[in-house]
Homo-oligomer: A and B are copies of this chain.
Amino acid sequence: MDLKHIIESQQFKVPRLMALFERANMMKKIVQRGGTLDYQNKILASLFYAPSTRTRFSFESAMYRLGGKILSTEQASEFSSEIKDERLEDTIKIIGNYCDVIVLRHIEEGGAKRAASVSSVPIINAGDGSGGQHPTQALLDLYTINNECHSIDGLSVAFIGALDNGRTTRSLAYLLSKFDRVKLYFIAPEELQIKNDILEHLNEHNISYEILNSTQNVLKNIDVLYMTRIDRARLKSKNINFDDFNVGPSVLKKLKKEALIMHPLPRSIEISPEVDLDPRAAYFRQAENGLYVRMALLTMLFENE
């Protein structure tokens, strides 16, 4: 039952999710009153094989707010000037000597699992390949939904964008499937739709879902509009009309008054800046929540030692 590594969102059952969210609330209070915790002797190492300053800073700030220290690499693919193809396993075994937890952003699906299999310290998957997972993103997404909608059971959540290689969509869909009466919508051009493994998982868990290629008829029904990045060049090369997959004033008009608009960020053109002023725009609050959820996760990992 112990939390040894954080590799994929399926690891988290509902009771642990609720314990995590409660702890994250506590972390929020500590940060807001300028406090800290007593993890002075703990070191977190950020091992990022692709740059993601946002995610890296979120983890590193979480470690600092706990009182700890950080070792950091912006671009681990230039790990050494001497050898370009070191086995990830070797790297992890060595770096484990120098820290108490490793946050890994890898470029290959399954990288985090491989790392965990040899690591002497906890591994946190901060994204592994475009078809892999990003479980802490899903956890902070779910925490945001839970805090703002007061419950997850019974919610309708629409995912919009390039869902075929949407790591965050995959991870969050796995988590949502653990709750009751949830309804999911996957809205994407056919060529970019969610992959079958997710749909099979939803079928197994009796989660109701719809596959759509336009937001037109569902905006009035949904509680959470989860936008993901759309690559303009990719859409263009496939001759896909972008207008059905972005959020602007016309979408705002059709959305429920209490709906949430979410996005893992960074955004491109799929949400126009004027949406930011709408109280339903939750994406910057989401980013803030990343701090508290990651603080809570780190303390859970450290408790198991």
Contact = CB atoms under 8 A, between A and B. Distances in A.
A97 B87 CA distance: 35
Interface stretch (A34-42, A149-157, A218-226): A34-42
Contact of A83 (B60, B82, B268): B268
A59 to B, nearest CB: 9
Interface in A254-279: 265-268, 273
B75 A54 contact: no
A93 interface: yes
B94 A54 contact: yes
A126 to B, nearest CB: 12
A243 to B, nearest CB: 20
A80 B287 CA distance: 15
Given A90-B266, A266-B86, A287-B94, A72 B75 contact: no
Interface string A60-101: 110011000101111110111111011101110111011100
Contacts of A290: 97
A58 B43 CA distance: 12
Nearest to A77: B51
A80 to B, nearest CB: 5
B74 A265 contact: no
A85 B50 CA distance: 16
